[in-house]
Amino acid sequence: MDERTTWLWSHRQKRGRDGVWRDALTLYRGGLRVRFVFLAGAPDSGRYTSEGDYWCEGCVADGRGNLLNLREPGVVRALAEEAGRRGLLPGPGGRPVELDGWELFPAVAAATDG
C-alpha cells in the first residue's frame, strides 16, 4: 500500500448472538471490504473492548497500557498497512475478508505508540 491508497471506513460496536461484545472496523475501497473484529475477552484475558460504553467507543486495549482508538485515522492506516504487510488484504475483485484484530494488535500498538 502506498501513500495514495484511500480507504473509506466505519466503526461499529455490538453484542453478537453469542452475547460477546465486539468492536469492528470495516474498510472499503473500490468494491473491496476488510473487517477487523476485536472480540471482548474474559476478565484478565488482555482483550478489552468498549462493550457498549459510549465514553470509550471504538477503543480496544490489552490491559498492559496499550490502547487503540479504532476511530483515529492513524490507527486505521496502521491496521491496513499491517494487514497488507502480512498479505491479508484481498486483491482486486477479491471477496470480503474478516480478520481477527487481536492478531494485529501488538504490531499496530507498537507502530502507533498505542
CA atoms within 13 A on the CB side of 2: 1
Q: What was the pLDDT predicted at 11?
A: 94
- pLDDT for 53 equals 76
Q: Which parts of the chain fold into alpha helices (H)?
A: 73-85, 101-112
Residue 6, number of CB atoms within 10 A of its CB: 7
Residue 14, helix vs strand vs coil: strand
Is the pTM higher than 0.95? The answer reads: no
Show pLDDT as tens, one digit a residue, over the chain (114 residues). Answer: 556 678 899 999 999 899 999 999 999 988 889 999 999 988 888 899 988 777 788 899 998 999 999 999 999 999 999 999 999 998 888 899 999 999 999 999 999 986
pLDDT value for 94: 85
Rounded Cα distance between 12 and 83, Å, is 19
Which pLDDT score is estimated for 114?
62
pLDDT for the residue 62: 93
